[in-house]
Structure 1
Amino acid sequence: MSFSIPKNVPSFTSPNREFEDGAVGGLFGANRDLPLYKDKPYYQRSGRDRRKMYRRKRFLGGLIAIFGLFYWFGYFPGTGTSILPIKKKTKEIVNWEDRREKVKEAFTLSWNAYEKHAWGNDQFFPVTKAGRQMIPKGMGWIIVDALDTMMIMNLTKPLEKAQHWVEHSLTFEQDSEVNTFETTIRMLGGLLSAHYLSQDLKLVPVKKAVEDMYLNKATDLADRLLGAFDSPSGVPFASVNLKSREGVPSHADGGASSTAEAATLQLEMKYLSKLIGEALYWKKAEKDGLVPIFVYADTGNFRGHEIRLGSRGDSYYEYLIKQYLQTKNQEPIYLDMYNAAMSGVKKHLIAKSHPSHLTFIAELPNGIGGELSPKMDHLVCFMPGLFALGATEGLTVEEARKAEKGVKWGVRQEEDLKLARELMRTCYEMYNVTATGLAPEIAWFNLKHGKSGDGEFLKEDPSKDIIVKPRDAHNLQRPETVESLFVMWRITGDEIYREWGWKIFEAFLEHTAVGEGAKDGFTSLDNVNEIPPKQRDNMESFWLAETLKYLYLLFSPNDILPLNEVVFNTEAHPFPKFEMGHLFETGWKRLPRDKEGVIIKEGPKEEDAENPKKDKDEK
């Protein structure tokens, strides 16, 4: 596996060795490489020599004792007033429980500010202390998205108020258009996750009526979202009217839905079907690895050739492997599609920067065969965690390598895990190279004279590799990097990922806090390379729903929401894995493909060949 010595983290040197070298080695001379034992194995001194040696040892022992007292009380130049300065140089024993509590405090500050200045609103502006609705009566955008985070953090009092608002104030009977994708992953996902955590994990005491309330609200919303699927092709429209339940083509992108919008609805709909025993939602959501980022709902055809894993295309790839994991490996078609997609990513999109050979995922604006664009959205930083999750299927590396059932460990899995580590380092460096320690929305990589190194060591300054353009320098409190850090920690057990997460969290505390002591919450930034940075007046709902949740889980015990038992949707809402049972099945099959993944076109049947007009009419 690749590894490089991290910067600005606790030292890997031994504190014991430092003390011995400084305190003892200096007393006996400059040569610290003498052997502990004589080179001659049976060497023995005479009795007189032994008595002389005894007297020397007594004298030497007294000298050491005196030296020790002087050293302890700081009478030697450079030793300070006590031994504490030496302790400061040692690797600190980290209390992860304390760090986890700091994350909870940040959530509480954010929530209290929202509750005080914008309660019930879909958007919160911490700087001006105001809120705004996205539709007339609101969607509960922030409240619903944060329900499960409060459950995981065991924040009972704010949770009770949020539950009351959802039960008595939230209504979906509104004559308004909403985005199908965002409403599904945030609102439907948030309600379903709240139902799951309140019913099954018992993290916080919740009354039965509240459990049912979450499920009833989720079902009501899902019924309205189903209208988006009523398109000629079955591909969901980009938007839907909540009251009329009619799908609405996108008002941008020529009316096309994005790949993410069309193919990131399945986890939520399938889980709802399982909960209520109704296959309708499952069937509607199921309608082939690298695809363009836009698709027309009226025809099902893709628009253009642009391929990227950033905005508009990211979660399509994420949901391939997660659908396979959600139904406990009972739908291998999704694993096949995921593997095909990742093979395409590795073949066409993986690139190395110059001079440090950072591994990154580029874009193909003109499709396969076109020129590579060295641009990587912060959104792409979900990929390190995805590669690791796909390799081990949620098990630790040690468990996956020894697994007799499920994971088939081999060369591909080792390669994917190595790639996950390299990409994780790159995503961390996107934070590490900026003035604030926070990542830009988009990074550009230096490809001049780039070489295909293995990324094992960073021989140069990564700041030469990563270019941040002023228009891309904003930070929206996005979660993708800390999401991958959480997954990488759970799967590899490498504590460096926790350390990186803590450093990122500290940067958020330092630069995004609003008001004295963050009493008005936290906000987005205009430019991560300015000190002090200009603050944007906006707190995204995913700050509460994802970023702080993943940081909290990163510092939590591993038995809280273990990855071999749950899947997180693309908005960090956890759902349980489940057996399909007799009621559900994969509702479609892939067309046969050759080794390169190209669809094999079958020739016309004899009857059809004799009667071509009939074949044309049937199509």
Structure 2
Amino acid sequence: MLPHMCLKWVLLLLLISISVLDVYSSDENHVWATKKRRMREKVRRMFYHAYDNYMNHAFPHDELKPLTKTFTDSLSELGNLRLEHLPHDYNGSALTLIESLSSLVIMGNNTEFERAIIWLSENLKFNVDARINLFECNIRVLGGLVSAHILATDSTNRLVQGAYKNQLLILAEDLGKRLLPAFDTPTGLPYAWINLKYGVMENETTETSTSGCGSLILEMGALSRLTGNPRFESAALHALRKLWSMRSSLNLFGTTLDVVTGEWIEHSSGIGAGVDSFYEYLFKAHIVFGKEEFWRMFHSAYVAVQKYFRHGPWYHEADMRTGKATYWQLTSLQAFWPGLQVLVGDVAAANSSHREFFYVWEKFGVLPERYLLDHQMLHPTEKYYPLRPELAESTFHLYQATKDPWYIEVGESIVNSLNLYTKVEGGFASIRDVTTMQHEDHQHSFFLAETCKYLYLLFDDSFLVNQNYIFTTEGHPIPVLSAWHERLPEAYIPTNWTFVKKEKLVRQASAMSMQVCPANTLDTGGSGSQHVKSACHVADARSNHRCLSDEDCGVDSTNCRRRSCSMAGYCGLWLSI
């Protein structure tokens, strides 16, 4: 009888323990839900502090100067470091308002969204004598208009019936046509600069960046799909293919090139400024348009990055021809990379790099523009922080993939730092020097388009429920639509698309919700399988990942299997996917 009685007591104690754990888990979930609501409202207040000050002191000019409560017509200055060929009669294009459109929708302010659409449709004109940067205008203005048009015409009936008659799409098409002359070069690679009224200026510089000619396909491709005019997508695709043909034997790309000769100017490259969004758009274009070509490009490029740039959790720069390291430095734009890795399925590597970026953020209070890894010190001249969104972006993606509450704490820290160091009476100001937190009189439009948006979505992702969106490099949502696909990645098929035949699909891409790793083989079209390196090949060093359930543990990047939560609350056991 004694063993039987002992067993009864053990079972009773086990039931009590399970009940206590259930209560504890329920209480903890309530605490986190309360914190997320509180932080969501804090981010909402941040956005409207920036937005209202822009509308009161700068609109309809491009961007707000929050310290003096004035404005700058900065569309002609973006990327123009020497401030050359500035227009005399340009009075702005309401840049910050355009950048804010999708953020207004995500925060549920359909009334202001409609007001903005009506104003833009009646007042915005692109027939202006202004020389602008093709890349910046594409991702900010064209992307903002295309995304907002899609949001205005989706099935949610956000607008008063009859209030919207494709005005934003009409504006976007007009702008797109004004950008097309930039592609009229011997190589098909576009000029970096174009005058919106007169086209390419005489004696225009032929130098551009890899990002500048390789990060146009999402916005211009979407414009073609929406208007039925193939010229936009064709021009962007031709430039992308030409750029791809210029890769080195190591599958690496330089930073700057000549659009006339097709020769590289700067051979040192990395994942930061000048190249960053090129990698991002290869993979995102595969998701949005379903072209196998984009996947093959990205896969080769991603493996090369991991092979030649990665050093532990960091990514240095290297010569595209030899793969030898050139510059050992962190740049703030690199902080987008963990977010991209989440989309690929390389969650463990994303977490590893993200923690290092956040460590630097905590060290200085914000993320400096350039940090010298080999000397563990700030770059002597690039000590600024212009309200960049990349760390918030990656934090959002990692939380979506893992549901690890630690990322909520990271987001809270970012919000608190922004309010402590960058909030001023007239909006939010850039930081000129992170060692002194001296302000600079500039509130960039991407603060509303991206920084506030990603922080808001981190704490409230209701906009994404039952929706599949890919965010452009400027944070503008583009939906994943079956009508736009040659072949849709399996992970992005909504359950209600019953007409899609899954057996014809290749399981390569990964959605944040599905966490599917890329395949270890690529289909060669009937001639068998060609074995290649998997993008999921970085060992998971995070052995101390606390968890409450298997869902908290995500996917191991080494073997593409789901991780399980042990009884002790750690992710360390493996289950087949």
User: TM-score under structure 1 normalisation?
Assistant: 0.67
- Letter of the 1:544 partner, please give it: L
User: Aligned pair in 2 of structure 1 residues 584, 248: CA closer, same or farther (>3 Å)?
Assistant: farther
- Contact kept in structure 2, 1:232 and 1:298, CA below 8 Å: yes
Query: Across the two proteins, how many residue pairs are aligned to each other?
Result: 447
User: Could you tell me which of 315, 320, 341 is aligned with 2:301?
Assistant: 341
User: Aligned pair in 2 of structure 1 residues 40, 390: CA closer, same or farther (>3 Å)?
Assistant: closer
| Separation in 1, partners of 2:37, 2:486 | 43
Which stretch of structure 1 is more off in the superposition, 540-549 or 90-99? 90-99
| Separation in 1, partners of 2:305, 2:254 | 13
User: Could you tell me which of 322, 343, 348 is aligned with 2:284?
Assistant: 322
- Residue 258 of structure 1 corresponds to which residue in structure 2? 209
- Letter of the 1:540 partner, please give it: H
| Separation in 1, partners of 2:445, 2:48 | 14
- Contact kept in structure 2, 1:236 and 1:247, CA below 8 Å: no
- Contact kept in structure 1, 2:288 and 2:485, CA below 8 Å: no
| Separation in 2, partners of 1:157, 1:42 | 66
User: Could you tell me which of 512, 525, 530 is aligned with 2:431?
Assistant: 525
1:158 CA drift (Å): 3.7
What are the equivalent positions in structure 2 for 1:80-119 lying under 5 Å apart?
94-119=34-59
1:565 aligns to 2:468 (yes or no): yes
- Residue 272 of structure 1 corresponds to which residue in structure 2? 223
1:584 CA drift (Å): 12
| Separation in 2, partners of 1:320, 1:508 | 31
User: Aligned pair in 2 of structure 1 residues 568, 201: CA closer, same or farther (>3 Å)?
Assistant: farther
1:445 aligns to 2:373 (yes or no): yes
- Contact kept in structure 2, 1:121 and 1:132, CA below 8 Å: yes
Deviation sequence 1:344-369 (CA, Å, 0-9, x none)? 111111114xxxxxx11111267534
1:121 CA drift (Å): 1.0
- Contact kept in structure 2, 1:198 and 1:211, CA below 8 Å: no
1:190 CA drift (Å): 0.2
Residue 440 of structure 2 aligns to a residue whose secondary structure is coil
User: Aligned pair in 2 of structure 1 residues 579, 116: CA closer, same or farther (>3 Å)?
Assistant: same
- Residue 191 of structure 2 corresponds to which residue in structure 1? 237
Task: Say what the alpha-carbon RMSD is for the aligned residues.
Answer: 3.0
1:192 CA drift (Å): 0.5
- Residue 495 of structure 2 corresponds to which residue in structure 1? none
1:140 CA drift (Å): 2.1
1:145 CA drift (Å): 1.0
| Separation in 2, partners of 1:373, 1:191 | 37
- Residue 352 of structure 2 corresponds to which residue in structure 1? 422
- Residue 555 of structure 2 corresponds to which residue in structure 1? none
1:553 aligns to 2:457 (yes or no): yes
| Separation in 2, partners of 1:291, 1:176 | 31
User: Aligned pair in 2 of structure 1 residues 238, 97: CA closer, same or farther (>3 Å)?
Assistant: same
User: Aligned pair in 2 of structure 1 residues 259, 109: CA closer, same or farther (>3 Å)?
Assistant: same
- Letter of the 1:333 partner, please give it: E
| Separation in 2, partners of 1:529, 1:537 | 17
1:342 CA drift (Å): 1.1
1:295 CA drift (Å): 2.2
| Separation in 2, partners of 1:248, 1:564 | 46
- Contact kept in structure 1, 2:268 and 2:326, CA below 8 Å: no
1:281 CA drift (Å): 1.5
1:488 CA drift (Å): 1.0
1:223 aligns to 2:177 (yes or no): yes
1:581 CA drift (Å): 6.1
Question: Of Structure 1 and Structure 2, which has the larger fraction of its residues in strand?
Answer: 2
- Contact kept in structure 2, 1:228 and 1:248, CA below 8 Å: no
- Residue 32 of structure 1 corresponds to which residue in structure 2? none
1:564 CA drift (Å): 7.2
- Letter of the 1:316 partner, please give it: F
| Separation in 2, partners of 1:581, 1:133 | 36
1:248 CA drift (Å): 7.1
| Separation in 2, partners of 1:386, 1:311 | 15
What are the equivalent positions in structure 2 for 1:78-227 lying under 5 Å apart?
94-134=34-74, 135=87, 136-200=90-154, 202=156, 204-227=158-181
User: Aligned pair in 2 of structure 1 residues 595, 256: CA closer, same or farther (>3 Å)?
Assistant: farther
1:495 aligns to 2:400 (yes or no): no
1:147 CA drift (Å): 1.0
Rg larger for? 1
Deviation sequence 1:371-394 (CA, Å, 0-9, x none)? 342102110111001011012xxx
User: Aligned pair in 2 of structure 1 residues 185, 98: CA closer, same or farther (>3 Å)?
Assistant: same
1:299 CA drift (Å): 2.6
% identical equivalent positions: 31
1:113 CA drift (Å): 1.0
User: Could you tell me which of 293, 308, 314 is aligned with 2:255?
Assistant: 293
User: Could you tell me which of 393, 406, 409 is aligned with 1:483?
Assistant: 393
Residue 64 of structure 2 aligns to a residue whose secondary structure is strand
1:492 CA drift (Å): 1.8
User: Could you tell me which of 553, 572, 577 is aligned with 2:480?
Assistant: 577
| Separation in 1, partners of 2:154, 2:219 | 17
Structure 2 unaligned regions, length at least 5: 8-26, 75-86, 239-243, 245-250, 489-523, 525-529, 534-577
- Residue 273 of structure 2 corresponds to which residue in structure 1? 311
User: Aligned pair in 2 of structure 1 residues 211, 425: CA closer, same or farther (>3 Å)?
Assistant: farther
Residue 535 of structure 1 aligns to a residue whose secondary structure is strand
- Letter of the 1:124 partner, please give it: L
1:544 aligns to 2:448 (yes or no): yes
- Letter of the 1:277 partner, please give it: G
User: Could you tell me which of 529, 534, 545 is aligned with 2:438?
Assistant: 534
